[in-house]
Chain A
């Protein structure tokens, strides 16, 4: 029989390795405290074995578990490198994304002039274009994840905490959004409102993607609401906002962080698809999806135009997913069983 994670299990470490499908192993650690509190210093835990027991916070255990997930750590490194390349694109890229050189039109990947990814039909260095495209795509993805997480957390928290009418209204709205496929709504919205600046594209994406997060937060809040520590806080006279954001929110950090990572991956893929279809980021700003769409024209002979931006998208999306997987193992171990 599978144990459904009860809310205070969500933050507790598990003593069983249930499903490390990619070589992850959850370490055998004792459960410390349900709410992620450190063991109080005056509490002597070492009396049983005589060895000194170091008190570790819940986050320290989570960190330990994460760093045992080799694939997740490797992915995190890839992401950090990609992030640095994107941030310092101006220095890393040898050429500007719109710099043309008519002597090297549609050249395959070559070492001369360091056109490692070749050049496009206007003689622009493709590696530089991919780097700047990566910058746009990552920017949009993190912007979307940030906005959607904040929005989703607030709405989900309110809905889960108060329940009743507000909750009902929100959930019906979500149901209605699901009647038309996600990509379709997105396309309609961006066709008429978006188109152009990464900021607008990101805003539209965030406007639709917060729904997932709101559902997750609502779920955890619904069950946390009945917990004793919430009751205690209420009895101590804490206000609703304080209970929600000081007491309940830290306990739901696990699911939130995991959902947020998945959001980033989703945002990257969706933005790429939008830009590819011509409803996302518009030229001259390069975006990975747009690069592929443009490369399509001469892509049958110039294979590098289609291949490289796509490989970059796949690597980034994979890395984000693996990091998410590692975070799930680390923060929300019981979830693993169902994944």
Chain B
């Protein structure tokens, strides 16, 4: 087990290295910091020259990669091109906000989706099953940004007509959040809609998956054996079937979670929520490659970590998977 973990960890580091090369090389292919500088108004040739020297932009690509890597590792992703502002503080703040959003949304989504999926599978072809299936089809066909906008329109109009504020529709930090209970209420009001939007897509996906995996398990031989032994239905479904049906979901959730931590790009943009996704879009619009590369690396780290966790959890939960 331990050797497997270590080997898997080493492999992750190799993947991370490959990803960093790909990110840097890919970005140099489509853009360059110099090009970005030249597009700025009111910037003198001297300044460009200075920045070029400071960022080693006049060196060949592998040397530049080396300097960038050094910045990433020792200096927390280094600085932006023009003003030399450090990248990490902004990224860190954004990460915190995304974390709040994604953790709550995913936890709620998993709970609901598992319930829906299991119930659908146990009552296959029932009215509930058909409704849930149709709903998840619709859930997957609704563009995330549109759902978000429609919710905004709805709650803005509720506010305009009844003068009751149920949810804020944008801007996480526009008003002073206060402390204690006020803080909790403020967060709930601000994050309510984004969480709802994220949940819809996740529930649609997870519940379908859970239904399929539960169906597979319910028809398995060992479940029939459990019934034949005379166990009551509750024990059969809960202890024998359900636990095993959960295993495949773990992988899906872990992968999704890793990707979402890199920012629910669309949701955060619509709700002007100062998270990783909005950070990414803002920097992408600004055109400076360095913060964009920092974002890409952070995302890659998240995905790789959660890939690793998914693999380990799989081996831990499913004794048939041998780790060695």
Contacts and interface: CB of A to CB of B under 8 A. Distances in A.
A313 interface: yes
A289 B26 CA distance: 27
B141 A300 contact: no
A195 to B, nearest CB: 11
B108 interface: no
Contact of A313 (B124, B130, B146, B284): B146
Contacts of A322: 137
Nearest to A173: B22
Contacts of B266: 183, 273, 276-277
Contact of A191 (B19, B153, B212, B284): B284
Nearest to B258: A181
Q: How large is the interface on A (under 10, 10 to 19, 20 to 34, 35 or more residues)?
A: 35 or more
A158 interface: no
Given A181-B259, A269-B143, A321-B141, A306 B281 contact: no
Interface in A186-216: 187-189, 191-193
B122 interface: no
A326 to B, nearest CB: 12
Contacts of A276: 143, 145, 266
B216 interface: yes
B140 A321 contact: yes
A334 B296 CA distance: 39
Contact of A179 (B19, B140, B221): B19
A175 B212 CA distance: 25
A329 B12 CA distance: 39
B157 interface: yes
Most buried by B among A187, A300, A313: A300
A236 interface: no
B167 interface: no
A19 B219 CA distance: 13
A2 B266 CA distance: 38
A181 B129 CA distance: 31
Q: Chain A binding site: helix, strand, loop or mixed by DSSP? A: helix
Given A2-B219, A292-B146, A184 B265 contact: yes
A289 B219 CA distance: 43
Contacts of A176: 15, 18-19, 22
A179 B19 CA distance: 7
A306 B30 contact: no
Contacts of B141: 265, 269, 314, 317-318, 321
A339 B149 contact: no
B216 A314 contact: no
Nearest to A325: B137
Contacts of B259: 181
Interface stretch (B79-87, B233-241, B298-306): B298-306
A83 interface: no
Contacts of A184: 262-263, 265, 280, 295-296, 299
B219 A273 contact: no
Enumerate the 9 nearest inter-chain pairs by beta-carbon distance, A residue then B residue, closest first.
A310-B146, A192-B30, A317-B141, A318-B141, A181-B259, A21-B133, A179-B19, A300-B156, A191-B284
